[in-house]
Structure 1
Amino acid sequence: MNWVKENRNQLAINNYVRKADAKTNYWLDLSEGRINHYKELTSDNFNIIIYGDEDIETDFYIIPFEELKHLLLENTFAKSEGRRRWIGNIINHHISLSNTGVKLNIAHRYSVPISLVIEPLILSTEGTNDYAIENAKREIQIRIKQSAFRKKVLENFDHKCCLTGVTENELLVASHIIPWATKIDTRVSPHNGLCLSTLYDSLFDKGYFTLNEKYEVIITSKLDELSLQTQNWLNEIFGKVISNPVKYEISQIALEYHRNTIFDKF
């Protein structure tokens, strides 16, 4: 799901969020009334956020109002009876508003989210070189994908550890069966994820236990070499079957990879 669509309610508290029509060159309109609302609310310190395809996580622009305000004038209103608004579109990362004759390059505002914690926050790249900006964008996109993966995996197990039933959100991890760095096409697949408590995520990640074809826990053959506490943790889940996923079946191919490549290899 598009990151902006998913977080729209929170973003819209201090930012003007609009949906552009991805099928018609990202056609969009901006209301004078809504613009004035955010100007009064934030003293011009807000973003105009435009998102397109609802199924593409990173298809959005976050543009500081200050970068567009010189175009949003009364004499550039669209000729719409009874409506005070601006209309335009986005083509090849250039936004064009009717009656302005201006095409503004907003490529640097594409796919770069703002913080949902500090509000409002205006993205700034001033004084930063292009390499650093691109690297930051990549890092942010990774975080978006990881966040989406976590959301799907936790929902798939009803926000409970699939082995212990722990429900505290801060103690739950969306654990990759095939590690993130190993295979690109499984990175964000919920079929490649288990909802585990932080303890059992670490043990699973290091290969202290795995799951067989029936989704039952198999523990390491090196049990006697481990501390008594670690033995107890593993014995508590030995033979357990994970809880049933709500929507996405867990990949047998991923589990086979974990058994053959990670399990018992510590």
Structure 2
Amino acid sequence: MNRSVASSIRTLVGRSSVAQAAYPHLVKGRLGTERWALSLLERGRSASRPTTPSKRARIVAYHSIGTSAWGVNDVTPADFERHLQIAVDDGWTFATPAEVLARPAEQLLAITFDDGVATVLDNAVPVLRHHGVPATMFVVTGWADGGHENGYAHVLDWKGVTALQDAGMTLASHSTTHPDFGKLSVSDARRELETSRERMRTMLGLDTVEFAIPFGQSANWTAAAQQAATEAGYTTVYAQSVGTRPQGTVARTFITSFDKPLVYRAALGGAFDNWEEWY
């Protein structure tokens, strides 16, 4: 979806209470339709190729695993296990993000999660540990402190975050309050970045240098935010987009509730590399 078109739609929606109520359904319908359509196109292109091209290393971005309130960001536990099996069946080797960055020409797959949702600990960690799959969680530190609008209904407190760490998951920052950095002043961006990093150091004894952009699309990060991240001590900044990601960031592929086997395989094959979510 062209960003100017999406912006125009949001403007029109803002003028009508009825449209505001319908907007989440519009977004969900558009997201599902486009992902399935692009998946079918990718399958058609793959079928017409004389040989299947080798896949390059990839980092995928999940959110919740069995939290229906997370909407399009939620993947069911059954689908998550299915995704891991598809990756194995299709020749992927699970790796860390650092290994993906170091060996981009190999068919490596890194699993990451955003937000610190409780169902990752409940439903994803047991599967990952059983199969020896490494993973990274990007934590919203203010939510771990109890600052989410729904409290701890869906997200982990620091005890839960520590349980992720004890289970072998790598932890890194996803900001303090999950703002849209594309709309923040330089001083506010710097405060978000520094506070999150300091909070992880205090609560976990972890001096992280990795950060994932909230929302993660091209409009959600600026050159000023990138500079603030560098000054705050981060060396690696992850987006939630691939071909359209902001300059200086690391690509990740967004995985959604619509990603059944056909769509998931298309995601791993690059069908959505130039596609962006809008909300």
Q: Name the TM tier (shorter chain).
A: under 0.3
Structure whose residues are more often helix by fraction: 2
User: TM-score, length-normalised on structure 1?
Assistant: 0.24
Structure whose residues are more often strand by fraction: 1
User: TM-score, length-normalised on structure 2?
Assistant: 0.24
For CA contacts below 8 A with separation 6 or more, give which structure has more relative contact order: 2
